[in-house]
Amino acid sequence: MVKLIAEQIPITSKQTPLVVIGVFEDEVEGLMKVLDGISAPVVEMVERVVKEKEHTGSFGSSCIVHCFTSPMDRIMLLGLGQKKSLDKEKIRVLAGKAAARAIEINVSEYSIKPYTQLTKDFVEAVCEGTCLSLYKFDQYLSQKTGESLHDPPLLKISLLVDRDREEWQRVLDKTKIIIDAVNFGRDLANLPPNECSPEYLARVALDLSSRHPRISTRIIERYEMESLGLNGIVAVGMGSNKPPKLVIIEYRGNEGSSTTVPFLFVGKAVTFDTGGISIKPSERMDEMKFDKSGGCDVLAIMSGLAKLEVKANVIGIIPCVENMPSSSSYRPGDILRMYNGKTVEVINTDAEGRLILADSIAYGIEKYNPNSVIDLATLTGACIVALGSNIAGALSNSPELFAKLRQISEKTNEKFWELPLYPEFSEQIRSKFADIKNIGGRAGGTITAAIFLSNFVNETPWIHLDIAGTAWTQDGTWDKSYNPKGATGFGIRSLIRLVLDESGSR
Ligand code: BES
Ligand code: ZN
Ligand code: ZN
C-alpha cells in the first residue's frame, strides 16, 4: 500500500531515511537553495558530487548520498534534465523512477522536497507517477521477487510543502483515488483467461454495487439477451461453454436531476479472443487475454467515479464474452439481426468486438438517452499498424466532444489521434446479402470498424477509442517508469477527468 502525505515542515527538520531532491542539468543554484540550512558537511558532500560530475542532473539519473547525520539519513539527487523542457509528463516519469529507486535501496518511507513552488500539475504528476509505477501484478508468483526486501507492506511518502498543507493533501487524495482506479483496471485486465470469465467480470460489477450505495448493477443473462434481440452478443458468445453476460452499471451521483445521463461508457470485454472459427495464428495468442481491457477500463472508471462521489449520472455497459471455436460457434456466412434491427453478414468471426459493441451501444442509447457515448475497445490490429503502440485511435461524430477529450489528453498524456469517419468507407462494409458485413478488407481497418459501429449510434455525440496498441505493453511500447509490464489501464485517467471536468467538480 502506498500512502502520500503533504507535510508542512522545513527540510531542515524532517527526520527521514531518504529525501529526494531534484537537480537541473543546467542550473545548480536551485539545489543549493533547497539545501539552505542543512549541516555544512552534508552540503559540502553534495556540492562535491555535483562538481565532480558524479551527478550531472541528466534526466532520470539518480545518485544516493549518505549523510551520517540528522535529520535525513540519505539524499537522493534526481536528475531533472533541462529546466525549460520539464513538463507534467516528465514529472510523472521522474516520480516513478524515484519510487523504484527507493524500493531498490530498501526504504519504506521517504520524502520529496519540491525543486520549486508547488502547482496542482506538479502534485498530481508526483502522485500519478509514484502510484502507477509501484503497481505490480504478482498474485500468481509463489516467490515474489526479493519478497522481504522489496515489498514493504506500506510505503509512506511525504511531500514537503511550505504552505496550504490541506489543499495539497486534497489534491493528493483525489489523484490517489484515480490511480487506485487505474490499478484496479490493470489488475482485472491482467487476469488470465482461465480465471477471468464473463461471469467473473459480472461478479466484479455486482461487487461494486455492494460497496458503493450510488452504484447499481444489472446483469443481462443470455436467455434475456435472446428475447431482447441482442443477437450480436449472443452470436459471439455461442462458441464458448462460458455464457456471455451483459453488464450494466448505473452510477447515480446527481441527486438534482436523476434522468440526465451525461455519459455512457461502453467497454469491449472479450475475456479471450481466439478468433473463433476464423481462428487466429497461435503466435502471441496468449495476449488476447487483454481483449477484455476496454471493459475492465469501464469497470475501473465506474468505481473511480463512485469513490470520488462525482455529481453526475454515468452508465457503464460491458458486453462480456469469450470468442471460441466449437460446434456451437457462430460462423462466417451467418446473418445476424442486431438489436437496432439492422442485419449483419458475418464474414470473419474474428471481427467479434464490433458485434458486441454495436448491440451494447444501440441498447444503451435507447434505454438511457445519454448526452454522449464513449466506447473503448481493443478493436483492430490495424490500429497498431496505423498508429503504433503508444497512441490510441479515436474516431468521432462530434468535434465538440472530441475537442474536450483532446484537451484532457494533453494533461494526462494518454495520447489519442483522430482518424476520419468519412462516408466513402461505408462502401467497404456493404454486403450482398445483408445491410452490412462485419469486415471491410485490409484497407483502413480501424476506420471501417468504426464506420461499422456508427451504424448503431444515431445522432448522439460519440467517440470510439481503439486501444489495441495501448491497452498493454507490447512490441514498440515506449518504456516508461510508470507503466510496468502488462495491462496499462490506458484511458481510465482521461475519462474520469473528463467526467470530473464536465460535472464541474474538478
Ligand atoms: N481483438 C482483436 C484486435 C487486436 C489484435 C487487438 C491484436 C490487439 C492486438 C480483434 O477482435 C480482431 O481480431 N480484429 C481483427 C479484425 C479483422 C478480422 C477485420 C484484426 O484486427 O485482425
Ligand atoms: Zn477478434
Ligand atoms: Zn477481439
Q: Which ligand is nearest to the CA of 274?
A: 2
Is 211 in the active site? no
Ligand 1 atom closest to Cα of residue 439: 19
Domain contains 72: yes
- Do 225 and 116 belong together in one domain? no
Global pTM exceeds 0.85: yes
Give the CA angle between residues 210, 211, 217 to the nearest 5°: 45
Whether residue 445 has its Cβ less than 6 Å from ligand 1: yes
- Do 264 and 402 belong together in one domain? yes
Please tell me the number of Cα atoms within 13 Å of 310 on its side-chain side.
Answer: 30
Domain contains 211: yes
Domain boundaries, position 331? 180-503
- Minimal-distance CA residue to ligand 1 atom 13: 350
Write down the catalytic residue from 354, 437, 480, 497: 354
- Beta strand ranges found along 253-312 (DSSP E): 263-267, 269-273
Whether residue 236 has its Cβ less than 6 Å from ligand 1: no
Residue 150 has pLDDT above 70, yes or no: no
- Do 204 and 78 belong together in one domain? no
Domain contains 166: no
- If you average pLDDT over every residue of the chain, what do you get? 96
- Do 345 and 230 belong together in one domain? yes
pLDDT tens digit string along 393-419?
999 999 999 999 999 999 999 999 999
pLDDT at 69: 80
- Do 389 and 462 belong together in one domain? yes
Residue of 357, 380, 490 best suited for mutating to test ligand 1, as the one with most atoms within 8 Å of CB: 380
Write down the catalytic residue from 174, 203, 252, 280: 280
How many domains would you assign to the chain? 2
Q: Are 500 and 307 in contact (CB under 8 A)?
A: no
Domain contains 41: yes
pLDDT at 332: 98
Q: If pLDDT is split at 50, 70 and 90, which confidence band does 506 have? A: low
pLDDT at 414: 98
- Do 110 and 219 belong together in one domain? no
Q: If pLDDT is split at 50, 70 and 90, which confidence band does 149 have? A: very low
Domain contains 47: yes
Domain contains 172: no
Ligand 1 atom closest to Cα of residue 448: 19
Alpha carbon distance 125, 280 (integer Å): 40
Q: Which ligand is nearest to the CA of 321?
A: 3
Domain contains 87: yes
- Do 197 and 316 belong together in one domain? yes
- Do 206 and 142 belong together in one domain? no
Domain contains 362: yes
Cα(472) to centroid(ligand 2), Å: 16
- Do 230 and 331 belong together in one domain? yes
- Do 146 and 236 belong together in one domain? no
Ligand 1 atom closest to Cα of residue 350: 13
CB under 8 Å to 148, separation ≥6 — which residues? none
Is 83 in the active site? no
Whole-Å CA distances, 301 to 126, 208, 501: 21, 11, 14
Residue 505 has pLDDT above 90, yes or no: no
Ligand 1 atom closest to Cα of residue 288: 1
